[in-house]
Amino acid sequence: MKVALTGIKPTGIPHIGNYLGAIKPALELAQTCEARYFIADYHALNSCKDPAAIRAMTLEIAAAWLASGLDPNKALFYKQSLVPQTFELLTMLLAFTPKGLMNRAHAYKAILQANSESGRDPDDGVNMGLFTYPVLMAADILLFDTDLVPVGNDQFQHVEMAVDIAQSFNFTYGQECFRLPQPIATQHSKTLLGLDGRKMSKSYGNTIPMFAPEKELRKLVMRIVTNSQGVDEPKDPATCTIFSLYRNFASPEQVENLRRRYLAGGMGWGHAKQELFEVMNAALAPLRERYAELMSAPEEISRILETGSAQASELAARKIKELRAVIGMD
């Protein structure tokens, strides 16, 4: 069985775009692969130095993935900071990473550009953790003989860098110390639309949080921007934000049915929104309940992460032992 692994940055509570576009597809891989998911907490340290925030975000994001269906009995679920072998591998890999490779990272280049555009020093706010981010990510991946890395398109370059670093290491010692990973896109072919009809994104402030309470969910759905067509006019499903969200939560029969009523006319926007709210609420209510349950027992979340991390650490220790022998440090 192939090994699939992905890192989860501890950020705020995911929105339904994150759920449908990243969490759900990554979790589906557990059906066909040996799956590994981890909270990438050391990656968050580069930008967040507030211990309470790190703790809170770690718990929230862990609860969000568990509530979304991550089964810690089937997949390995751990916290990066509890697998210290990651950081020994990072040190090894740094010696195989040309500085020029890091200079070419899109994420780093974007920061340099933003700095120069606003007249700051190019390296303003760039710490070495941020600069070497792709190497830590390579360590996360290579430590577990990963075949597949489900990520958003913005992370492809980082996985490709992990391949470059692994190849350089393998070539140096003339043996296949590392399996070469392959990025696979989790994103939907169609991006999820937000309340204002643009792509759903935190930076647009047009998101629907995954665990919004029922009343808030209804309020948000009612705020979706529509055109000024009257009730009687036939509506075009292809250009409608309500419809595009509906198809992600309804059954194929329900989608067909709504499509017919759109085209026939006589269907007002308020009515369509009500139906969208109902299918969304039916799909999200069990997740919302499970999330609340988990968050009311944070020690249980920590226990799950500790158990998974102990297992991950055991696997990782074996790998590190092999690698130390290869480099002459046994």
Nearer to ligand TRP, 81 or 155 (CB): 155
**Stretch binding ligand TRP (CB under 6 A), from 137-145, 187-195, 246-254, 295-303:** 137-145
Among 149, 177, 279, 323, binds ligand TRP (CB under 6 A): 149
Among 83, 141, 280, 323, binds ligand TRP (CB under 6 A): 141
Can you tell me which residue has the tokens 């089937």? 74
User: What is the C-alpha separation between 97 and 169, in angstroms, rounded?
Assistant: 9
Instruction: Tell me if 137 contacts ligand TRP by CB under 6 A.
Output: yes
**Stretch binding ligand TRP (CB under 6 A), from 29-37, 50-58, 98-106, 147-155:** 147-155
CB of 129 to ligand TRP, least distance (A): 12
Instruction: Tell me if 260 contacts ligand TRP by CB under 6 A.
Output: no
CB of 133 to ligand TRP, least distance (A): 7
CB of 137 to ligand TRP, least distance (A): 4
Instruction: Tell me if 15 contacts ligand TRP by CB under 6 A.
Output: no
User: What is the C-alpha separation between 29 and 40, in angstroms, rounded?
Assistant: 19
* Alpha helix stretches (DSSP H) within 69-224: 85-94, 99-103, 106-117, 128-131, 133-142, 156-173, 214-222
Q: Quickly list DSSP for 175-193.
A: S--SPPPEEEE-S-SSPPB
User: What is the C-alpha separation between 166 and 147, in angstroms, rounded?
Assistant: 13
Among 40, 66, 217, 320, binds ligand TRP (CB under 6 A): 40
Dihedral in degrees, nearest 10, Cα atoms 13, 19, 25, 26: 0
Exposure string for 174-209, b = 16+ CB within 10 A, e = fewer: eeebbbebebbebbeeeebbbbebeebeeeeebbbb
User: What is the C-alpha separation between 188 and 73, in angstroms, rounded?
Assistant: 27
With CB atoms as reference, the residue minimizing the distance to ligand TRP is 7
What is the CB-side half-sphere exposure of residue 199 using CA atoms within 13 A?
10
- C-alpha dihedral sign at 53, 59, 64, 70: positive
Site string for ligand TRP, 152-191 (x = CB under 6 A): ---x--x---------------------------------
Among 3, 4, 7, 304, binds ligand TRP (CB under 6 A): 7
CB of 152 to ligand TRP, least distance (A): 7
User: What is the C-alpha separation between 99 and 19, in angstroms, rounded?
Assistant: 35
Instruction: Tell me if 151 contacts ligand TRP by CB under 6 A.
Output: yes
Angle formed at CA 146 by CA 149 and CA 85, multiple of 5 degrees: 115
Nearer to ligand TRP, 14 or 209 (CB): 14
User: What is the C-alpha separation between 262 and 246, in angstroms, rounded?
Assistant: 12
CB of 43 to ligand TRP, least distance (A): 5
Do residues 146 and 4 touch, judged by C-beta distance below 8 A? yes
**Stretch binding ligand TRP (CB under 6 A), from 149-157, 188-196, 222-230, 265-273:** 149-157
Instruction: Tell me if 17 contacts ligand TRP by CB under 6 A.
Output: no
Instruction: Tell me if 140 contacts ligand TRP by CB under 6 A.
Output: yes
Nearer to ligand TRP, 135 or 221 (CB): 135
Do residues 210 and 19 touch, judged by C-beta distance below 8 A? yes
Do residues 278 and 307 touch, judged by C-beta distance below 8 A? no
**Stretch binding ligand TRP (CB under 6 A), from 116-124, 148-156, 227-235, 321-329:** 148-156
**Stretch binding ligand TRP (CB under 6 A), from 62-70, 151-159, 232-240, 280-288:** 151-159
- Which residues here bind ligand TRP, judged by CB under 6 A? 5-7, 9, 40, 43, 137, 140-141, 149, 151, 155, 158
